[in-house]
Structure formats: C-alpha cells, structure tokens
Structure 1
Amino acid sequence: MNYLSVENISKSYGERVLFDNVSFGINKDQKIAFIAKNGSGKTTIMNIINGFDEPDTGQVVIRKEIKMAFLSQNNNLQDELTIEESIFASDNEVLKIIERYEKALENPNDEEAYQKAFDDMDRHNAWDFETQFKQILYKLKLEDLKMKVNNMSGGQKKRLSLAIILISKPDLLILDEPTNHLDLEMIEWLEDYFAKENITLFMVTHDRFFLERVCNEIIELDNGKIYQYKGNYSYYLQKKEERIASENASIDKAQNLFVKELAWMRRQPKARTTKSKSRQDDFYVIKEKAESRRKENVVELEINMERMGSKVIEMVKLSKSFHPETSGKTILKDFSYSFQRGERIGIIGKNGTGKSTFLNILTQTLQPDSGKVIIGDTIKIGYYTQSGINPKPGQKVIDIIKEYGEYIPLTKGKIISASQLLERFLFDAKKQYDFVEKLSGGELKRLYLCTVLIQNPNFLILDEPTNDLDIVTLNVLESFLLDYPGCLVVVSHDRYFMDKIVDHLFVFRGEGEIEDFPGNYSDFRAYEDSAEPKALQSVSTEKSNWKEKQTKAGLTFNEQKEFQKIEKEIKDLEYQKKQIEQEFSEGKVSDDKIEAKANELQKIIQSLEEKEERWFDLSSKME
C-alpha cells in the first residue's frame, strides 16, 4: 500500500538548482533512510514532504486516511506544559482515557469517577498501552512527568518530542536525525524498537550502525538525482560503488565516440542531408554524456602537525566532585593516566557521568579538587567542543579563517591562502562571503573543524564531532584521523566512527569509576553482552500487567486506589530529590541556602522511605 508519493518535484534558489524532477514513493512497512550531502537539498525535500515548503514544480500526494508524524531538529513543544501534559495533548483516544484515569487517581474520594475511568481502561485495553508508553519514557530518561518543558535542556526536549511521536503510533513516521541528543544506551534501545516494531519509517540519519540495523531501503539524492537501493547500508555501499563504476565506464565509452563524431562534424559541408542531420542531433546527445563525468567535491584535510616530544600529558591522582559535603556527584576519584604518543582513546558513558568535565580538566579549562595535569612542552591541543563557533554579528565565512592569518602553513613547507583552504573544506568563492549565521548545521560544523585543524594541533580532542556532518564528510574525516600521527581523544555516540578510529576506550561508569577497556566499541559491546545477562530489564517487567495487579484478591477498593496514588507520589518525590541533588552538584545553591536545602532534601528522603514502606505493605497483600 502506497502511503506517500513525491512526483516530479523541483526546487531552485535563484540560479542554483537544488534538484529537478525528483520522484519516489513510501509504501507500508518500508524503513527508508534518505541520504544526501549537506547543502544538496535534503532538508528542503523533508520540508516539502511535511508541508513546510512548496516545490517549484511537481507535487507530494499523501494517502488520505494515514496518520503521519514528523520529528524535526526544532522542537514544537509548549513551554508552559509538563511532560505529562505534553503527552496527553495528543489527539490519541487511548491517551485521553489514560489521562482521565490518572486524574481519577489524584482524587480518591470520587469513587464513581474512578470506577468509570477504570472501566474505560478495561474497555479500550489501555493497560498495555499505558505500560508501553511509560516504558518509552523510562528508556528516554523522562520519568518525571511533572517537569515543565521550559525547565528542560535541549536534549531533554528532543527526547520528549521523540517520545510523543513514538507514543502516538503514527502510520508513517518521518524523522530528522533521531539519534542526536541520545546516549549510546538510548540509541541501541531505539534501534531495537524500530527494528522490531511494525512501523513505516522515512528518516534522515548519519548514524551508520542505525542505517545498517534498521533500514531495509536507502534513497540517495546525488547530484540532483534520486537513486534507490533495496537493502541496508552495506548493500548501499556495494551497489553505489558498482553504479559509479558503470556510469564512468559508460562516460568513457561516450568520450571515445565523441572524439570520432567531433571529427566527422568538422569534416561535413554546410549543406547536410536528412541522414546527416539525424547524426548531428545524436552528436549533441553524445557530447552531453561525454561531459557528464561526476565532479566529486570532497573535503581535503591536511595539517602541518607540530613536532611532539617524548612527554605528552600526565594526569596524576585527579579527583573532582560537585558539592561532596551534600553527597553530590563524583566525577573523578584518584584517577591517574599517562598519555603516550600516537594514542587513540574513545570515551563512552551515559549522559551525566562526567565526560565533558573530564575533557575540561584535561584541557585545564576546569581545575580538579585534587591532583594535577602535567602537559608536555611540545604539546599543542586542538579542542573541538560541542559549543562550536561563536561568530561576531555580521561576520562572514572568510573572516573566521582570516583571524588565523591570510596564509596558512601546510605539510612539507606548503602555504595556501585562507580562501584556498576554505575551498578544500567545500566552501566555494561565493559561499566564503556568506554570513556565518546563514550556514546550515553541517556547514557550521565543517567550518569549525577547519578552524581547529589549521592551528596544527598534535593532541586532538573531539567532543561529538560527527553531529550534523554528512556521510561523505564523515568518511573523509575518518580517513584523515586514521593517518593522523598525534594523540587523539574522542567522545562520540557514533559507534561506526568509534570502531574505525580508536584503539581503546575510557568507559565512564559513574561515581568516579573509569574503566580502561582494550578495544573498540563493538569489542566492548560483545564483552558486556557475554560477561553478564542484560542488566537493564524492561520497566514493564515489574509492572507487566497493571490490570491484573489491581484486581488480585487481597486489596480492598480503597487500597487499590491508595496503591496507585502512592506509586505516583513516589515518582514525584524521587524527582524532587533528584532536582535538589542536581542543584548541589552543579553549584546552584547559594551559601545562605545550603542548610535550608539540605533540610528539605532530608524531609523528602524521609517521606520517600515512608511511602516505599507502605507500597511494600500493600504489595505483600497481593502476593
């Protein structure tokens, strides 16, 4: 069954033609990845499909009865709503029933309203649905349903937008970079979810493991044309290579024929017969084919790395905590390590375990509580951070590079101009004079990478370098890093990238525990899976059948309501506890409020213990 058809759409901006007469379809149960270089029109096509932009020609036809949802890079959440309210704002009928049931739990005195809500849950089989959506929230670390959107980080908002879409269960799900802002554990869960769910997907992603394991078809926009591959990422790589080889062979053949026909054209008299006129027309077709060889514009990375001495960087007995006097968060605990020349380390761990803090201590932008960082005299650090470029108002692309000089030294004594360097990073003469604020996310990342590398570092630190880079640029970056002779430290959620370029891992386990693992990410996953059974059980294991739990003998009607209410109260208290602990760990509590906050935390902990004790009492009656 066809869900959506893109029919002969074209789009131009002035003289620049993004794409012309592009057509493809999305059918039921397809899981399609949409691949294109940055700046080639990928985002424009996504916007046209979702009705945010209009094509110059052609149309998008969507089947009337299907429900379509779109996860964009920009969230469309309402700041004044809580997580729970944002979820229930959906027009999903079952969610409305669950919302009424949740409200009935908050008002235990209205037995009639509770019974009606309970019966509706029964009638629409909403118990399983509730368990499923709470599992999604649990996996995406959105367990505090009372948290307001305006208090959430950018990553939390992205995860909430993803959760809302998954919970709504649309017929067709369109995703723009769904793995951004997710840690590795979340990415792997989402990967499994999409691989198993009977859902139709159309997505843009640069996560090549995701492409490999989830997608069964790949559509590529290449030089303004659409190419379709019925398979995963490995199949796509193989078939694309075969296609390009075939195209080049065809072009070579056309070029040989063109030479012969050109000679014939030059020999012919002006008066031509009908037969020669037909051959003349064919000549122009051959000429166009012969001149159609692909122009592969690829980023060229080349630096004149500073000489590295025998002493690199030594970290000696480092410790770092945030407000240890109030049981705050421990990041480092007596950590020592001596970096060796040419070492390539990947850093992995859940969000919040201290990876960025570690990098800031390593680069001496943050001081440890104890211990020291000793940097060798010849070491020049290049630090690619997640914050990226902060251009001045009205600054142009060329101005950013000229801050480092009009001419840039390369290897073997070569020198190139700032403009020539930008061309190597795919910024043509026209693009170099664009305002920086007009650049796409991928172009900004590419420009930032350029500014880090032209400083010729011999100790390179990359914090999430793969976000917003297209697959072609990623492959070039990987090739450069494989040949990079200096030290390399990388934090990334891109498992494919990590597998290719690192030799061993620092695994941040939390609470100051850092494990040095001798292998890449795939080696680590294989080790973890074989060393112990799956530690993280589904949240639905404990609450596998809420309906059955409530109707078991042993609980009175009022106890059933109390049981449900306590579960919600426990979650609220856990959130309040977590919020205060986070305030302490991030240093947000002023000195004059420390005692009051500490007392408030103690009261919450005491109340939590009482609620949990009552929960266990009621649970024991159901056994």
Structure 2
Amino acid sequence: MLQLSDVSLRVGPDPLIEHASLTIHPGQKVGLIGANGSGKSTLFRAIAGDQTLETGEITQPPGWCMGQVAQELPATDTPMLEFVMRGDELYAHARDQVNAAQAQQDDLALTQAWDRMDQIDGYRVEPAAKQMLMGLGFTDADFAKPVCEFSGGWQVRLKLARALMQRSDLLLLDEPTNHLDIEAVAWLIQWLQSFSGALLVISHDRHFLDEVVEGIAHLSNKRLSYYRGNFAAFERQRNEQLMQQQALHDKQKQQMQHLKTFIDRFRAQATKAKQAQSRIKALERMETVAAVQASNQFRFEFFTPAQLPDPMLSVSELRFAYDPSTPAILDQVSLTLRAGDRIGLVGVNGSGKSTLLKCLVGDLTPTKGKVVAAKGLKMAYFAQHQLEALQLDHSPMAHLQQLTHDDGSRVTDQQARDFLGQFGFSGDKALERVKGFSGGEKARLSLALMVFQKPNLLIMDEPTNHLDMETRDALDMALQEFAGALILVTHDQHLLSSLVDQFWWVHQAQVQPFHGSLESYLQQRLQSLKTNSSDPRDVEAGAAGPKSKKATRQAAAQKRQALQKQLAPIKKRLTTLEKEIKVCESALADLHEIMADSALYQADQSDRLQKCLKEEAQWQARQEEAEEQWLLAQENLEAVKLECDA
C-alpha cells in the first residue's frame, strides 16, 4: 500500500501542506480534490519522488510499479501504435529480446524470447492498445503515423494512452479528462472502473469522480482529510461535518461565556475564590472549536438580455472544407436556433463540432451556404483555446478597457475595477500582467470579458478546462440563470446534463438532432467502440470455438517461420552494412591517431597531411553512404514486421 505519514510540503518560504497522512490500499481508487493552488500537483510530485518533503515520509511496497502520464511527448518518428504498446515495459523488454534474437539469427534465443512473450500475455498488448486508442478518439488510420506528427490535444491523449498501458500497481492521473471529448471521458470511466490497480486521481469533474472513486482526499487550509465514498458522499459528509463543527463552536461559546461570567462575579469573594480558580483552569484547558469560516464562494451572473430575437440564427445548406480537393468537414447543414434554446453539441473528436461553432461566430467562412444572424443578436464566444487569445502583457484592466459600453462610451478605471472585483481581480491583481496568471485565473478573466458584453447568445467550446470545482459550480449556476440561448460543447457530463435540453449530433459531416438522453447517446457510442475495435482474431476464435494451447503455439510457430523467411535477406543486408560501417570506423580511428601527432603539422609534412585529410574525407563519405543504406534496410525490416503482425 501507499503510505503518507505526517507529510509536510513547502514551496518557497510558505508551507503548502502540513502533517498530511493518507493510506491507499491495493486496488483502492481515491480522488484528490481541492481549490487551484492548494497543493494537489505538488503532492503528486512528492509521491512520485520529484518533490522534497519538509517532514514525514512516503512509503510503498518494494517492486510496486507506479504509472503516471509523462510531462513531455518525445519527438520521435516511432509509429504511434508501437509507441503506446511500449508503455507496457514487460512487453517492450520482450519485444526487444525478440528483435535482438532475430538480428543475430539465434534460433534458440528467438524461441526463448517468444516463450517469454507468451508468458507475459504479449499477444494481448496490441489489441488492448488499439482498443484504448480508439476509445480515446483515434482511428485505424492513425496507428501507423509517427508520434511527431501529432500535436495539441492529441499529444495529451497519446501520453495518457501510454500511461494506461503500464502494468501499474498504482496509477497517478492529474486532470485526465482535460482535452478529452465527452465520448472519450465515458470510455475512460469504464476503463478505470475495470482497472485492478490502485488509483489516485486529481479531478474537478463531479460525474467522473462519482463514477470512478471510492474515497476522496480533500486538501483545504494546508490540511488533508479523507472521506469514504464518491464525490456526492463527500459533499454530504463535509456539509454534516461543518454543521457539527459550527454547532460545537456555538455550544462551546456559550459554555465559555458562562465560565467567564462566574469568574468575573465571584473572583473577589473569599468564599467563592476556590471555585473561581477551578473555572479559570477549566477555561484555560478548553480547546477552542473554530467557527466555520465562510468560504466567500465565487459567484457571478450574466446580465439580462435587452432583447431576444427569434429565431436567433439560421443556417442554410452550409458546407465547409479547408481545401476544395479534400472531403468536406461539414456538408448540407441546415439549422435554426430559437430564442431560449439550450443546445448540447455532441460528436467524436474531429467530427467538426469546433468547426461548426467557428462558422456560426464568423471565424470561418462557409465554402457554401450561409449563416444568417437575427437583428439584435449579441453573441459571445468562449473558444476551446480561449485562454491563448488573452494578451499576456496586458492586465485584466487593460483587457476590459478594450471593450466599450452599449452606447459606445469607454470603460472608466473605477467601472473596470468594480466589475473585475466580482471575478476575483481586486486591488493590485487587476493591474498584474496576465503572463503570471494560473490557468484558472485566465479562465475567470475570459468569463468576465464574456459577461461584460451582455450577450443574448452564448457559444462555449470546452469552457471548464482549467476551472476548479468552485468556478465550475459558479459557471453552472450562472448558465442556469442565463435568459438567452446557449450552444455548449463540453466533456463535463454533470454540466451538460444540468444545462441543456436538446442535443445536436455532429457525425459524418452532418448535424442532426439526437432524440434521446445523454446517457443513451454515450451508451450507443461505447457499444460502437466495442464493435469497431474488436480484434478480428477474437471474432474468428468466437466463431470457431476456443483454440487449444497447442493449436495456438502451432499457429505462432508458423507465423514465426514466415517472418524469418521474409526477413532473412534484409537481415543479411543489414549485417553486411554493419560490417562495412565498422571497417570505416576502424580506418577513421587509425587516421585520427596519426593526425593527433603534432609532428604531422610541421612545414615539411605538408604532403603527408594532405594525404591524411583526403583519406579521411573518403572514409567519412563511405561511412555516411553505408549508414544511409543501413537506415533504409532497417525501415524495410520494420515494414515487413508490421505487415506480418497485421
């Protein structure tokens, strides 16, 4: 088990976490929650051994494998499927042994390597990796692409997939649902529910925590408290605890006041002096129960729209493609948005949800068709990468004063301060450069700029990324009370369920109403993933009945023989080229030893020096040619392996 004992952490001069203790048993799943800046990620680094402890210790069983998402994705041209499969270190080691035995043409070593692959169930790794990648939104066409070709949110998914492939006894995940669409989150929930190892996950997603964890570790006021149950159970227990604490405080306050009254009244009387002294000592021994502090919860609201035109937007025969020679991302899309509509936009990642939103707000011009906005429409758009649109060298004040009031007048300093104070940017904070803000602070500033525009239509693309639980709750409440229309894309199932009353499904370049609940939509998607990602070998096995171990070994042996036959001439070419490279290296080493002699550079040795330099150039060119040929042969080798493994 993972054991945290009296752990204190300090970042800079100030303590961040004090005297934290926590035990996570094998197979236990725990959610780590707390406001942004409370120390969750720092505690993760401490558990991983990357953060020095101020006090206490963190222990885990010897040999426990701790899995976590890598900070950076290597710029490698390794095919992404192979990259993810190699997250399983046992498989990666066995695969390397197979490759080495094949390169050396060592039949005994090859047999032993394949036996080792069988022992670790290595044949399950590829179908598991494919199913995982498809669950996270990738397609078959992505599997052979080099890792370096993926960017942005796709890199995040690749790192997550590789982390999940690890055979972890303890898995650490920090906000794993960020940058996933709601379909991928639903898949991840199912995967984690079936995960047999222990899990510690940082998340602000209520639905995700309710579905996945069985305990909550809450960081607040530098203290770590553990609650049994999911997030809903935590909220009940926390509220009861706070109510009990306040009741105890009130009762103790009455007791203390009674003692003080007795002491003040009888301290001077000789007959009561002894009793007064005993009460003074009782008062001194009494441990004060603190009153429940008001958390000053962040709340905001949208202005009531001055008008609500109906319909607000009309889309007719819209088509969009980035290039006329490529298939359209959206085609023949016709929609009408009415006043008061609350639309949830769903569809797998890459289906065109963000493209549709950009067409609606005018950031993209349709290839064909038109978008007609009603007179009086005031639209505010929270883009998926809205935080990147902020000017890092500007302050919140400067951002707000770039806007104007409805009558065109400028925003005064006092008006800007009053408004920004509602979003937590008071005093000097309103004048600080955005460059130093956290992701949560940038998100709050973006929300403030939206609210100030007094929209009657909100279009929001993944607004909860970087928001902590408190700010998500504030956004939820503000949107519930918003009187205008709403189009929302989010991976937060709790937010989507509480805010929208109809869904538009973006699928195969079409946008259609989805008549059903969010739960039924996600169930359909998960079932589709199971069907599409079934390994053909599993289907064949199901039709023909389970194969015997002997038949499996025979099939594997036949496959290995075919592999050897195809690879033999390529491996022979590689061996020849490797010998050529060694000859070049040896000749160059001899030349460099001669050229290291300072006597060679004297005036009378000019001809000899020129001869050495000429030979060096010739050997280097020969080495470079051999290395290029070796790389080409190696690529051919990998191509044949992929073909045989398919």
Is the shorter-chain TM-score for this pair beyond 0.5, marking a shared fold? Answer: yes
- State the partner residue of 1:469: 467
Counterpart CA distance in 2 for 1:287 and 1:51 is 37
1:227 counterpart = 2:225: yes
1:394 CA drift (Å): 3.8
1:92: which partner in 2? 89
How many angstroms apart in 2 are the aligned matches of 1:145 and 1:492? 26
Summarize the Cα distance change of 1:255–1:28 in structure 2 as closer, same or farther, 3 Å threshold: same
Q: Secondary structure at the match of 1:174?
A: strand
**1:201-280 matches, cutoff 5 A:** 201-261=199-259, 263=261, 276=276, 279-280=279-280
Is it true that 1:132 corresponds to 2:128 in the alignment?
A: yes
Is the alpha carbon distance of 1:274 and 1:379 closer, same or farther for their aligned partners in structure 2, counting shifts above 3 Å? farther
Which residue of structure 2 aligns with residue 320 of structure 1? 320
Query: SS in structure 2 opposite 1:76?
Result: coil
1:44-123 → structure 2 map (5 Å cutoff): 44-71=42-69, 75-80=71-76, 82=78, 83=80, 86-87=83-84, 92-101=89-98, 115=111, 117-123=113-119
Taking the aligned partners of 2:281 and 2:69, their CA distance within structure 1 comes to 49
Contact between 1:408 and 1:418, CA under 8 Å: does it hold in 2?
no
Aligned AA for 1:232? N
Amino acid at match of 1:95: A
Question: Number of paired residues?
Answer: 554
The aligned amino acid for 1:24 is: L
Structure 1 counterpart of 2:90, one-letter code: E
Give, in angstroms, the shift of residue 214 of structure 1. Answer: 1.4
For residues 12 and 304 of structure 1, what CA distance do their matches in structure 2 show?
Answer: 40
Distance in 2 (alpha carbons) for counterparts of 1:333 and 1:11 = 55
Partner of 1:293: 292
In the alignment, residue 92 of structure 1 is paired with which amino acid?
A: E
Matched residue of 1:289: which SS? coil
Task: Give the 3 Å change call, closer, same or farther, for CA 109–236 of structure 1 in structure 2.
Answer: same
Distance 1:315 1:88 in 2: 44
Pairwise CA distance, 1:303: 3.0
Specify the alignment match of 1:339 in structure 2.
337
Alignment of 1:216-615 (within 5 A): 216-261=214-259, 263=261, 276=276, 279-280=279-280, 283=283, 288-289=288-289, 292-311=291-310, 312-325=312-325, 328-389=326-387, 390-404=389-403, 417-429=415-427, 431-510=429-508, 512-525=509-522, 535-539=531-535, 541-542=538-539, 551-552=554-555, 558-559=561-562
Residues 378 and 165 (structure 1 numbering): CA distance in 2 closer, same or farther, change over 3 Å?
same
Give the 3 Å change call, closer, same or farther, for CA 263–275 of structure 1 in structure 2: closer
CA distance in 1, matches of 2:4, 2:92: 30
The C-alpha deviation readout for 1:10-50, integer Å capped at 9, x for no partner, is 43654x65433222222211100011111222222222222
Would the alpha carbon gap of residues 100 and 350 (structure 1) be closer, same or farther in structure 2, given more than 3 Å must change? farther
Given the superposition, is the C-alpha separation of residues 57 and 3 from structure 1 closer, same or farther in structure 2, using an over 3 Å criterion?
closer
Q: What is the CA distance between 1:469 and its match in structure 2?
A: 1.2
Give the residue type in structure 1 aligned to 2:313.
Answer: I
| Residues 109 and 368 of structure 1, relative CA distance in 2, 3 Å threshold | farther
* More divergent stretch after superposition (267-276 vs 125-134): 267-276
Give the alignment's Cα RMSD to 1 decimal: 3.9
Please give the TM-score of this superposition, normalised by the length of structure 2.
0.75
Give, in angstroms, the shift of residue 196 of structure 1.
Answer: 1.3
2:183 aligned partner? 185
Amino acid at match of 1:514: V
Q: For the residues of structure 1 that align with 2:64 and 2:247, how far apart are their CA atoms?
A: 44
**For the residues of structure 2 that align with 1:61 and 1:268, how far apart are their CA atoms?**
56
State the partner residue of 2:155.
157
Q: Helix, strand or coil: the match of 1:48?
A: helix
Between 467-476 and 132-141, report the one with greater CA deviation. Answer: 132-141
SS in 1 for 2:334: strand
In structure 2, stretches of 5+ residues that fail to align are: 408-412, 569-639
- Match for 1:205: what amino acid? S
Does the C-alpha gap of structure 1 residues 369 and 182 become closer, same or farther in structure 2, counting only changes over 3 Å?
same
More helix by share: 2
Kept in 2, the 8 Å contact 1:348–1:493? The answer is no
The separation in 2 between residues aligned to 1:128 and 1:553, in whole angstroms, is 13
CA distance in structure 2 between the aligned counterparts of 1:103 and 1:133, rounded to whole angstroms: 23
> Are the aligned partners of 2:460 and 2:487 in contact in 1 as well (CA < 8 Å)?
yes
For the residue of structure 1 that corresponds to 2:316, the secondary structure is: strand
State the Cα deviation string for residues 557-604 of structure 1 (Å, max 9, x = none).
654668999xxxxxxxxxxxxxxxxxxxxxxxxxxxxxxxxxxxxxxx
Aligned to 1:575: none
Segments of structure 1 that go 5 or more residues without pairing to the other structure are 410-414, 566-610
Structure 2 match to 1:580:
none
Corresponding residue number in structure 2 for 1:26 = 24
Equivalent residue of 2:162, what SS?
helix
Q: Is the 8 A contact 1:505 1:518 kept in 2?
A: yes
Q: Which of structures 1 and 2 has the larger relative contact order (alpha carbons within 8 angstroms, sep 6+)?
A: 1
One-letter amino acid of the structure 2 residue matched with residue 515 of structure 1: Q
Stretch deviating more after TM superposition (332-341 or 483-492): 332-341
Q: CA deviation at 1:173?
A: 0.8
Q: Is the 8 A contact 1:313 1:373 kept in 2?
A: yes
Quote how far apart the aligned CAs of 1:188 are: 2.0
Fraction of identical pairs, as percent: 27
Change (3 A) 1:114 1:185: farther
CA distance 1:159–1:440, change in 2 (3 Å):
same
User: For residues 332 and 154 of structure 1, do their structure 2 counterparts lie closer, same or farther at Cα, with a shift above 3 Å needed?
Assistant: closer
Paired AA for residue 554 in structure 2? T
Check conservation: 1:29, 1:198, Cα contact below 8 A. yes
Residues 234-291 of structure 1, C-alpha deviations (whole Å, 9 max, x = no match)? 222222222222222223323444554565676686999786566446657879535x
DSSP 3-state at the match of 1:159: helix
Q: Give me the whole-angstrom Cα distance separating, in 1, the residues matched to 2:15 and 2:263.
A: 32
- 1:387–1:534 Cα change, 3 Å: closer
Instruction: Specify the SS of the correspondent of 1:345.
Output: strand
**1:489 alignment partner, SS class:** strand
Name the stretch that deviates more: 217-226 or 124-133. 124-133
Q: Give the secondary structure class of the aligned counterpart of 2:245.
A: helix
Whole-Å separation in 2 of the counterparts to 1:382 and 1:564: 60
Q: Structure 2 vs 1, CA of residues 357 and 149 (structure 1 numbering), >3 Å: closer, same or farther?
A: same
Deviations 1:155-174 (A, max 9, x none): 22222222222222121111
| TM-aligned CA deviation for residue 433 of structure 1 | 4.5
Q: Check conservation: 2:316, 2:334, Cα contact below 8 A.
A: yes
Normalising by structure 1, we get a TM-score of: 0.78
Q: Which amino acid is the alignment partner of residue 521 of structure 1?
A: L
Q: 1:593 aligns to what? A: none
Change over 3 Å in CA distance of 1:43–1:120 after alignment to 2: closer
Letter paired with 1:94: Y
Could you give the per-residue CA deviations for residues 365-415 of structure 1, whole angstroms, max 9, x where no partner exists?
Answer: 11111111111121111101122234445433444344447x999xxxxx9
Deviations along 1:60-104, one digit per CA (max 9) or x if unpaired, are 3333332212226xx333213523664576682332213444688
